[in-house]
Structure 1
Amino acid sequence: MPGKTALELLKEKKHVFTSLRPPNLSSCTRKDVREYFENTYDLDEAIFTALKDEKYFYMCPDRLRLPLIFYFAHTATLYVNKLLLAGLIKERVNRGFETMFETGVDEMSWDDTENYRMGGSYQWPSLSEVMEYRSRVRELVIEVIENAPLTLPITMDHPWWSIFMGLEHERIHIETSSVLIRQLPVDYLECPTNWKYAPINSPTPVGPNAFIKVNEGEITLGKPTDFPTYGWDNEYGTKTIKVPAFEATQYLITNKEFLDFVADGGYSTKKYWTDEGWQWVQFRQPRHPLFWVCTDECKSNCGSILSDYSHCNNESNGVTNGSTHSKYKYRALYDVIDMPWDWPVDVNYHEAKAYCRWKGAEFRLPTEAEHQIMRGDDPLSSKYSCDPINRKDFHCNFNFAYGSSTPVNFYPANSKGFYDLYGNVWECTEDHFNGFPGYESHYLYDDFSSPCFDGRHNMIQGGSWASTGDLCSRFARYAFRRHFYQHMGFRLVRSLSPSFGTPVKLCDCSAFVLGLGVHSNPVTVEGVDETACFSPSTNKQYVYDDEDLCHDCILNKMGKDVDYGQPLVKYVKEILGSLGAETGSAMVAGCGPGYTSFQLGAMFDSVLGMEFGGRLVDAAIQLQNNGEAVIGDDTVALSCISSPLRTDNVTFKQLTWFPNELEGFDLVLFEFLDRLNEPKGWLRKLWEIVNKKGILIISASDMWTVPVLKQYIGEWFELVHESNVDKIISTWRLKED
């Protein structure tokens, strides 16, 4: 009898479609944590059991994302990467997998053509190999939970924070993977037997979507640092906002309401769309929301071999009686069903914004502060029970209560008369994503939030039916690019005190993206005070990449009277000689405009210059290709450096973190320690990057003394030399095993 396939084995696993609530980190037991982990892991695997064939794991449901096999493995790799960084484990499970599946995609624009990070012809591992890997990671995490030292409470600086980081990261991907599966051809799927869609209609008919007035008020945002559940870095800090009077629709906008916009030619009328939104329309050519199904073979957004697929090609979905209402059906997660007109419409920000403009110039989306004040939550406290996700008596459509949206009046209204401020679908808001005052990234995941503080990511609020864990929290703050699809809808808002402005918060950031430059960041809300609504990005790395600062930095360092980097390069050369070091490969972490990298190119076979700043990397590439770089109105050239240079063996990368693919360097020259959001994580990663006989040289300000550095890297490195050339320079080698 032949053995069972990997997919058959997956389908035999426990199909968990119910979600536990987050443990209380001030009182949880090992048993509590293990149960939450196993529930998370099982729920993630269960949503993939609907795929009919293993080959569908290698399909790309969205041309801007990776194939499903990536996401099936990705969540497991993060546990290993973060537990290792936190010191709870000492060895990897499979470095190849933990490199291959480490980094997902947050594409730079809606017309990005790279839907595979490693190229469309990349050979992914088999499903059986990935399942075996997931099994090994499951055993590893359980072993850590059962045996690692545990003290309570578990706080942000506790090693066990890494476990919950893995858990909540996986719960994010349970939801985002469900969105991708929802975009697959329905013929590829078979709805699991215990999957439960919500009723199409509510026992009580949905009446007119009336506006409810909200009086002027004040709201304080931010999660207390001692709150006993896991939180992402962007949730902490505080901000108090005065909210002028406004009114908002009691319900989310339904499919039935949105039909009027579609029938009125909303998708073909430019005046309803922002400039960015209209460019997206021209590219995507949508005629209706993504999860509506008609017979017109509307363009899909799938990638690779599915690029010609359209889910709008099922003849049985067509018009049967000539009415507009009967033209459309609805794509739920695993099935095409009759159109649930009373469910909220699923759209992205561009579509929601266009609907607002179609309704009238005075209409808009809510802000984060308005959405929070509409909720009418209890006063802010650190009590576990003040968060709805932690309360058994709080009823709404989140945490997999159903496997779909529900009618907008299915659950009772809150005390202010609003429905679905938690759950059902996420709500688009007008605010850009940014940290609160006092924002600090976490060393275990330095680039979770901060790269998105760029003015191109809009906040979403409230969670959806597929949201679990922290996603459902009253403190949750998530954001996506404006073209991104999620289980997401919106409600209308109208200001009642125009003279007092709108509490919209926008991010003033001119982040430079290689190949794209700087996108404009226009105000899309009528009547706001542009001098008050913009705040600087709280990602200080973007501040360092500011156009004027980079301009001054490059010009000052390339002035004709300065042979830039010569003292440091001279030091490196002397160290290499005195230690008899290998000169195969070098990396400059914080390469700036590349001068040091080019000088090391004359000493090493290959050099990698990495930098988080796009403008700096762009200048380095200009210098490499042309021998000079245009910086604003000025031009700088490599010819002003008198020391030996080589450019043909140097590569530059813009990176927001040390990915696992960086390894095996004979020299790592660490130059941007003073410019990082959170240096601790970067320093703790270095032992995996330097060759066993390699050299680490750190050049930083005088706050980074050897005793300070030893607190971060002393577990792996020993000091071999210390100097002071402009800055403190220390040289390290890995300790013997």
Structure 2
Amino acid sequence: MMAPLVLSGQETFQSLKPCDLSCCTKSEIKAYFENSYDLNESIFTGLKEECAIYKCPDRLRLPLIFYYAHTACVYVNKMFLGGLITKRINPEYESLFETGVDEMSWDDTENFRMGGQYKWPNLKDVVEYRRQVREVILQVIENTPLELPITKESPWWSLFMGMEHERIHHETSSVLIRQLPVDMVTRPKGWKYGPVTWGEGVKENPMVTVSEQTTVTLGKPQDFPSYGWDNEYGELECKVPPFRANKYIITNREYMEFVESGGYQDSQFWSKEGWSWKQYRQANHPLYWVCSQGCKNGCGSNLSASSHCRPQDMEGTNEKFRLRAVYDVIDMPWDWPAEVNYHEAKAYAKWKGPSYRLPTEAEYHVMRGEQKDVKEGVACDIVYQDNCNANIRFIYGSSTPVNMFPATSAGFHDVFGNVWQWTEDHFNGFPGQDTHWLYDDFSTPCFDGRHNMIMGGSWITTGDSASRFARFSFRRHFFQHAGFRLVESIGPQPTPLRLVDTEVFVMGVGIEDKVDPKEVNLPNGFTWVPSTNLQYHYDTAESLNRQLQLEYGAGSKFLDQLLEHVTRTVKQHGTETRRILHIGCGVGKISFQLAKQFEEVVAVDFCGRFLDAAISLQSGKSLTYTVVNSDNKREKHEAVLGDTSASNVIFKQLTWLPNEIGTYDVVLFENIDRVMNPKAWLRRLWEILNKKGVLIIISTKGWDQAKLRPYIQDRLQCSETHSLPYYELGGNKKQVNYTVWHLKSSGYFHG
């Protein structure tokens, strides 16, 4: 058994309620932390052998050892950034286990760096690391002054960020363990599956009508006394016209009709994207259904040849299918929700008829019925209520019959809990939403039109994830404890559905096709909206043309001057010239020039188009850009790297600066004007500078020393401030400020 190996605390499958941040005590924080930590470790006690934790249950995910360690290192990284701790515990682990994989396509190849060919640390050492992190956090809770209320500006916010992040991964780990071959797991003591039926069972699933137009306000108040992720804040008011929706989540029994009718073999029910996914996965039924036909499993590495659909698991039943629960294969609970991805849900909806679709986010809120006023504080939120009447917070270790918990005042069951429910809305921020500097890229990379929202939480959802304000999303091919219900519009009124229309460039792929509303039976009156991730708006064909012109045309003289100043600064400070990090590298011209002075140049940008162009130039290709001349005529020019040696330039697309970025003698920060949350980037910079290293920050918008100081930790001090003349396209002269910073002698050094 794995319990003695993976537990640094107590085995438990009971969840506590979150803390009220307006009045919580240290003892409550301590209890909530240990419960978060214990729950995560306890899920892994169901692995039969130590070798299972090194397996990759999904080829688009990492081995389980990563997820076991990942949550502990996020505590350290966020608390270190937030100032609750002053030194790291294990910098190697806090780099290795920091960043996971958010696969951006269902046909990504397996990541062997973190998959079958990578040698992961010994489990005993990783368990010891988790134990050390636990002890450090308990000391922080005991010794750090607690000022209430805890707000987003409080150092304590970083600890709550770690706890709520860990609770998200309770679900991630359970989903992955559920995909392991069943022979590798065993149900832990204390893990309790829900009942198979309830009452007279579910004979039918009628449509319930919401007849009156309703206005709903989406978004969490900024001062609400509970932890929240960045995408929850802001405010959006929606007018919701009448609609009909299923009383219950679609059950396994209902979905069986679609499977038996040949729905998985008929492309007319699937979107283009969905059918491509279906063929790639060779799916014949939902992932967690088990048959005797040896279906492809989707596991990675050395599990890829195994199958979940084995004849021996169907012995003793006359049914065509059984169900894989987290640790067992059980007889099919026909009244439980059908757990599918978005593509499968939409195929079922189209099979039912052209008027059927999934709910919108706003309609989902209406289905929740009357709720307490937010002015009542945490009492208004279901996750804080003792009798929540929903299958959330680990009451069971599985789904439950869809009729088991009472309906809301609007007449709908399981709008909270049981399984997550897919919606039609693309994930996006609300008006007024901003990122948090401790986790600038938690949500924004997913505001890409490729992530659909899921609502309501599942049986294993706890903490903020089960809140009435929670907003999560996944790629449409993603597997989760997720199901769906169907909706029909009533009348011609516009539907409050928001789809992201901003083009997102994916390196190596280009621009993916937008969703075709007709193809997936979307209602009339939906709204195309821009992504609230401002970075995506920089990454356009026009921006690339402009950047090429600036670096290889009109702006080249400025870049030459800038390079001279960098060279002078390095000599003046006696800085080493081994490694330089160039943040905001654009299409790479100055990075290529820096390669003459430095042994290694790491060039970072968010814009995939820019990096694709830079890599093309590095490979010896020329790029064409267009200039409008004084006669208003378009002239074509070529950008060519020339004879510069560029083999020592490494280009990376990053949404922030993870630990794996390493440390540098010089950091040249050239795109501060276009990052969404400057504080998030600036607070990281002191740690990635080597001793005697220098940081050079460049801005066209007046980021001088006075403006930068509030964002930069005391470990950095300004050496000098300069201005350079800069000519925009069209000949308009501007000033570019650049400031040089270096570590104080009392700083914390890696090198």
TM-score (normalised: structure 2): 0.94
SS at match of 1:515: coil
Give matches, 1:586-735, under 5 Å. Answer: 586-630=580-624, 637-639=638-640, 645-725=644-724, 726-735=735-744
Q: Which moved more, 1:427-436 or 1:381-390?
A: 381-390
Instruction: After TM superposition, give the deviation of residue 634 of structure 1 in Å.
Output: 8.6
Q: Note if contact 2:264-2:285 (Cα within 8 Å) is conserved in structure 1.
A: yes
SS at match of 1:69: helix
Instruction: After TM superposition, give the deviation of residue 132 of structure 1 in Å.
Output: 0.1
SS at match of 1:363: coil
Q: Does 1:510 align with 2:510?
A: no
Q: Distance in 1 between matches of 2:719 and 2:603?
A: 24
Instruction: After TM superposition, give the deviation of residue 559 of structure 1 in Å.
Output: 2.1
- Amino acid paired to 2:452: N
Give matches, 1:380-529, under 5 Å. Answer: 380-382=373-375, 383-497=377-491, 499-524=492-517, 525-526=520-521, 528-529=523-524
Question: Which residue in the other structure is 1:349 paired with?
Answer: 342
Give matches, 1:143-154, under 5 Å. Answer: 143-154=139-150
**Residues 379-432 of structure 1: per-residue CA shift (max 9 Å, x gap):** 552411111111112211000011100000011111111100000000000000
SS at match of 1:720: strand
* CA shift in 2, pair 1:635/1:251, >3 Å: farther
Q: Note if contact 2:277-2:477 (Cα within 8 Å) is conserved in structure 1.
A: yes
Q: Note if contact 2:624-2:637 (Cα within 8 Å) is conserved in structure 1.
A: yes
Q: Distance in 2 between matches of 1:640 and 1:69?
A: 43
Residue 315 of structure 1 is aligned with which of 312, 330, 333? 312
Instruction: After TM superposition, give the deviation of residue 273 of structure 1 in Å.
Output: 0.4
Aligned residue pair count: 725
Q: Note if contact 2:547-2:586 (Cα within 8 Å) is conserved in structure 1.
A: no
Q: Note if contact 2:420-2:482 (Cα within 8 Å) is conserved in structure 1.
A: yes
Question: Which residue in the other structure is 2:22 paired with?
Answer: 26
- Amino acid paired to 1:669: L
* CA shift in 2, pair 1:735/1:415, >3 Å: same
SS at match of 2:362: helix
* Gapped regions of structure 1 (runs ≥ 5): none
* CA shift in 2, pair 1:372/1:566, >3 Å: same
SS at match of 2:126: helix
* CA shift in 2, pair 1:115/1:714, >3 Å: closer
Residue 177 of structure 1 is aligned with which of 173, 176, 191? 173
Residue 222 of structure 2 is aligned with which of 213, 225, 240? 225
SS at match of 1:248: strand
* CA shift in 2, pair 1:608/1:561, >3 Å: closer
- Amino acid paired to 2:335: D
**Residues 353-373 of structure 1: per-residue CA shift (max 9 Å, x gap):** 000000001000001000011
Residue 299 of structure 1 is aligned with which of 296, 299, 305? 296
SS at match of 1:45: helix
Q: Distance in 2 between matches of 1:492 and 1:634?
A: 54
SS at match of 1:327: coil
* CA shift in 2, pair 1:622/1:529, >3 Å: farther
Q: Does 1:372 align with 2:365?
A: yes
Q: Note if contact 1:105-1:117 (Cα within 8 Å) is conserved in structure 2.
A: no
- Amino acid paired to 1:535: V
Q: Which moved more, 1:390-399 or 1:167-176?
A: 390-399
Q: Does 1:246 align with 2:240?
A: no
Q: Note if contact 1:364-1:494 (Cα within 8 Å) is conserved in structure 2.
A: yes
* CA shift in 2, pair 1:634/1:205, >3 Å: farther
Q: Note if contact 2:22-2:149 (Cα within 8 Å) is conserved in structure 1.
A: yes
* Gapped regions of structure 2 (runs ≥ 5): 627-633, 725-734, 747-751
- Amino acid paired to 1:165: M
Q: Note if contact 1:34-1:142 (Cα within 8 Å) is conserved in structure 2.
A: yes
Q: Note if contact 2:551-2:589 (Cα within 8 Å) is conserved in structure 1.
A: no
* CA shift in 2, pair 1:241/1:634, >3 Å: farther
Instruction: After TM superposition, give the deviation of residue 173 of structure 1 in Å.
Output: 0.3
**Residues 93-138 of structure 1: per-residue CA shift (max 9 Å, x gap):** 0000000000001011101112344453111011111100000000
> In angstroms, what is the RMSD of aligned CA positions?
1.8
Instruction: After TM superposition, give the deviation of residue 37 of structure 1 in Å.
Output: 0.2
Question: Which residue in the other structure is 2:727 paired with?
Answer: none
Q: Does 1:131 align with 2:127?
A: yes
* CA shift in 2, pair 1:494/1:117, >3 Å: farther
Q: Distance in 2 between matches of 1:438 and 1:348?
A: 30
Q: Note if contact 1:663-1:688 (Cα within 8 Å) is conserved in structure 2.
A: no
